[in-house]
Structure 1
Amino acid sequence: MRRPQGFTGPPSARKPPAQTTSGKTTSGKTPAESTGRGATRSESPSTGPVTLPSTDAAGPTNARITRLPFGLSAGRVSGGGTKSASDGARDAAQGARATLTAGAKLTGGAARAGLRAAKRARKRYERQEVRRFTWRSRRRRTNWVVSLAAVVVMTLVVVGAGYSPLMALRTIEVVGASRVSADALVAALEEQVGTPLPLLDFGQVKEELSQFMLIQSYVTESRPPGTLVVRIVEREPVGALASAAGFDLVDAAGIVIESSPDRPAGYPLIDADNGVESAGFRAATAVVSVLPDSIRSQLDTVSAETKDDVTLNLVGGARVVWGSPEESEYKAVVLGALMVGHPVGTVNEYDVTSPDSAVLR
């Protein structure tokens, strides 16, 4: 260990300098030094502070610490006492830290680095605060985004599946055909086979089915993955019209369902001036259409010159004066009650022109 500055040996081996101040002998020694009494030997370790006598006339009242071990900075001890090494070391360490801190702030690079760190910390803090106060809106936005994404995904899946070859038409089913040939309907729609169900040309389907006169209406139903169901309603015949070739079975619109040389059984013969385009024909078919099966089965002929003079002739010779097609449902109920109370053969005529006051003749 390096000796402190000014330390040359034990106190007994040092010669104090000559002093001319009061309290000293002429030889330059104090009374204690001249007699050898009062001289003590320091047993303190060499690492402690060393005090040197002052040359002031007032005596050794102040001492200077010339060097401290372990690189501590020098200081002063006042009042004639000494500062402990631990206190000095603590003070020196605190001063060193303050000095280093002050020096770091004064350095340009360190100042810039500190500024950047402070900015990052500030931004991080602001982001945390923003997230803390906006978590509700962010959750709502997340829910909307997730919902919208789910809808988009489902739409894409449905569209992709619907327009894929997996959804191509492979089977055509016909429901409700009796007079119309189901095989003929399937053959007419054969061009649609192989087309995806969402891409079927229903305009062409209507054009193909309109060629069958016996079809009054139809409904199509798509059954994934590859089936088209066609439900048809056939025209219902209401009577027969006499023609040059025999008899034509027609519906209420005058469409010929079938023709035969013989009169069709179970259908009345319609006698109307000017054919199917006349008002009498429309009135007669309107009346026949609402009659119950119990009365329709007893019809022989229906005649009408105008829309207000419809007359029904029953099998057995009785006649029904109907009048106009107005209140036909009510008139049919009244006629059925009259025929139960007064069967055909007991009366010659049923007049239901005014159903509230029906007349029997």
Structure 2
Amino acid sequence: MPSDARSTDGSDPLDLSGGERFGVWRAARARRRREREEVRRFTAVSRRRRITWIASVGGVLTLAVACIAAAYTPVMAVREIHVEGARLVSSDLIVRDLDGELGTPLPLVDRSAIKAALVKYPLIQSYSVESRPPSTLVVRIVERRPVGVITDGDAFDLVDVAGVVLTSSPRRPDGYPLITFEGGSGSSGFAAAAAVVRSLPTEVLATVDEVTASTVDDVTLTLADSGAVVAWGSSEDSAAKAVALQTLMAAYPPDAVARYDVSSPESVVVDPR
């Protein structure tokens, strides 16, 4: 049998009085109003966020377009080329070789053309290029450092520590020692002699006429004018040996010495004439 939904006192729980029904209606109406207000508030926030996002993106795009347009205008074209770091290489020659970039917008400068122009200079070891708005192209170069002169037939080649020929001439360049060794410029003998030259203080290097490496462990120096010989040994501990030699030369001038031995920098020997 169907159950009886009436309460024990015989009244219907859904049978509300007029006042109660009005209260329920007001509560439902208030709830719907709050829901509509919440929807409107959410919609307004979303709209503001969307407008802000669109404005931000638009501003960025506008700025990007303006920057790109400015970069490719004649105002940003190369009008000056500056070369920094050139001592042995003529900066005027480098500027002349790069004059094809004049009038080119800085972002469109041909880096491969710059490389092709600079590799022709053996004295240039490395370089970097900087665009300096509004119209300056800066080329910074690092030159190879000459260490000495080697002979090639009747020619004298000025070389760096890697054996790269920087200049070649029929006359021996002034201011650099003559390096003699067994094998080519890629040999261990040349590497040992070049390392010794690099370790010498400027004052001592200026007095050296020749560096000989019969083996990697038997490097000797011959001083100019006096003809005094320096037994150096290997290129190991060259910094300590250079200090020892400088001290000995100050205490015992080369004119009075036949041979300095700094192969063991902690136990040096001086042979007088």
> Shorter chain as normaliser: what TM range?
0.7 to 0.9
CA distance in 2, matches of 1:150, 1:329: 61
User: What letter is aligned with 1:325?
Assistant: S
Q: Which residue of 1 aligns with 2:246?
A: 336
Q: Are 2:84 and 2:138, in contact at CA under 8 Å, matched by a contact in 1?
A: yes
Distance 1:153-1:341 versus aligned 2 partners, 3 A rule: farther
- Does residue 322 of structure 1 match 2:229? no
SS in 2 for 1:356: coil
> Offset at 1:125?
3.1
Among 163, 184, 197, which residue is 2:72 paired with?
163
- SS in structure 2 of the partner of residue 208 of structure 1: helix
Q: In structure 2, how many angstroms separate the alpha carbons of the residues matched to 1:277 and 1:211? A: 22
Secondary structure of the corresponding residue to residue 171 of structure 2: coil
Whole-Å Cα distance in 2 between the matches of residues 309 and 139 of structure 1? Answer: 83
Question: Computing the radius of gyration over CA atoms, which structure comes out larger, 1 or 2?
Answer: 1
Residue range with higher mean Cα deviation, 296-305 or 210-219: 210-219
Matching of residue 254 in structure 1 with residue 163 in structure 2: yes
Which letter maps to 1:167?
M
Deviation of 1:288 (Å): 0.7
Name the structure 2 match of 1:294.
Answer: 203
- What are the Cα deviations for residues 332-357 of structure 1, in whole angstroms up to 9, with x where unaligned? 12221222222223433222223233
The 10-residue stretch of structure 1 (298-307 or 214-223) with the greater mean CA deviation from structure 2: 214-223
In structure 1, stretches of 5+ residues that fail to align are: 1-117
Alignment of 1:198-217 (within 5 A): 198-217=107-126
- Once residues 144 and 312 of structure 1 are traced to their aligned partners in structure 2, the CA distance between those partners, rounded to angstroms, is 75
When the two chains are superposed, the root-mean-square deviation of aligned CA atoms in Å is 3.4
Structure 1 129/300 Cα, relative in aligned 2: closer, same or farther at 3 Å? closer
For 2:162 and 2:222, the matched residues in 1 are separated by: 22
| Pair 1:266 & 2:175 matched | yes
* 1:148/1:354 CA distance change after superposition, 3 Å: farther
Please give the per-residue CA displacement for 1:16-61, whole angstroms capped at 9, x wherever unaligned: xxxxxxxxxxxxxxxxxxxxxxxxxxxxxxxxxxxxxxxxxxxxxx
Shift in alpha-carbon separation, 1:312–1:163, aligned structure 2, 3 A: same
Q: Which runs of 5+ in 2 are unaligned?
A: 1-29
Cα distance in 1, alignment partners of residues 233 and 56 from structure 2: 66
Pairwise CA distance, 1:199: 2.2
- Which stretch shifts more, 205-214 or 333-342? 333-342
TM-score, with structure 2 as normaliser: 0.74
Q: Number of matched residues?
A: 242
Is 1:356 matched with 2:269?
A: no
Q: Which residue of 1 aligns with 2:102?
A: 193
Report deviation, 1:206.
1.2
Identity among equivalent pairs (%): 50
Shift in Å at residue 247 of structure 1? Answer: 2.4
Task: Say which is worse superposed, 154-163 or 262-271, in terms of deviation.
Answer: 154-163
What do residues 257-283 of structure 1 show as CA deviations (whole Å, max 9, x unaligned)?
333333322221111122323221121
Counterpart code for 2:267: S
Q: 1:60-75 to 2 correspondence within 5 Å?
A: none
**Equivalent residue for 2:37, pick from 102, 119, 125:** 125
- 1:229 maps onto 2:141 in alignment: no
Shift, 1:142, TM fit:
7.6
Q: What SS class does the counterpart of residue 94 from structure 2 fall into?
A: helix
Distance in structure 2 (CA, Å) of the matches to 1:235 and 1:130: 69
Where 1:354 maps in the other structure, the secondary structure is: coil
3-state SS of paired residue (1:280): helix
The CA deviation at 1:156 is 3.4
Q: What residue identity is the alignment partner of 2:216?
A: K
